[in-house]
Amino acid sequence: MTWRIGVVVPARDEERRIGPCLEAVAAAVQRAGRPAVVCVVADRCRDSTAERALAAGVDVVVNRGPLTIGDVRNLGFRRVVGRLGGVTERMWLLGTDADTIVPTTWITDHLRYAESGAVAVAGAVDLDDPHLLPADALARYTRLVAARVAGSTHGHAYAANLGVRADAFLRVGGYPGVIAGEEHALLARLRHAGHRVLSPTDVRARTSARTTGRARGGLADLLCALT
């Protein structure tokens, strides 16, 4: 049985970035050649994010309530699971962010580890525009990242580059309803349940180096603190 792919992108007031993000996701879907559903969760947007996502041909869920980022991501994953016909062991759920550009190999990179028995893959990220940061802040960030890299694995978790098998995701209850650090909380749930979680350094994506983000406690807050 072939893998079925679900991709979820939460977005709040990202009308400028959602187009390039979805173009990159579409290229990765095309390269993977698997049945796929892409969903943007337009979270309390005050701009044209939802309209631009619809124009890109993806599914859109509009949230207007005060949900945590974990619950926002869960909204999207529930939608793609339903659109893909229900959960199976050969369904891979991928999350990224609206300010992130994934490579064309993104999905196939994840599936390579899924085929080897991984239940979740925590990929790495590179800063897409590091020149936006002062040199000393960039140096501090680079040292922080390098300190948790050991050979071909790393000790980070990024919601902008995370994949999980759908049956395991639903079995542990999805993302916890936390206001920040939802990717760490999900991986902790999976590990506690005994699932195999890998953090390879060769599954990568590029994300913005902006210091004003949309999610509290995310990478933008870290970069702001370093600056």
Q: pLDDT in tens for each of the 227 residues of the chain?
A: 799 999 999 999 999 999 999 999 999 999 999 999 999 999 999 999 999 999 999 999 999 999 999 999 999 999 999 999 999 889 999 999 999 999 999 999 999 999 999 999 999 999 998 888 889 989 999 999 999 999 999 999 999 999 999 999 999 999 999 988 999 999 999 999 999 999 999 999 999 988 776 667 778 777 778 78
List the CATH code of the domain at 4-226: 3.90.550.10
Contacts of 77 (CB under 8 A, 6+ apart): 6, 8, 93, 95, 166, 169, 174, 175
Amino acid identity, residue 200?
Answer: P
Q: Which helix (H) or strand (E) holds 175?
A: none
200 DSSP assignment: B
CA distance 8 to 79: 9
Residue of 177, 172, 176, 170 whose CA lies nearest to 192:
172
pTM: 0.95
184 burial level (CB within 10 Å; 0-12, 13-18, 19+)? middle
Extended beta strands in 19-148, E state: 36-43, 59-63, 91-95, 100-101, 120-122, 124-127
Amino acid at 184: H
Q: What is the CA radius of gyration of the chain?
A: 16
Q: 197-198 and 120-122 as β-strands: parallel, antiparallel, unpaired?
A: parallel
Q: Where are the beta strands (DSSP E) in 167-226?
A: 197-198, 204-207
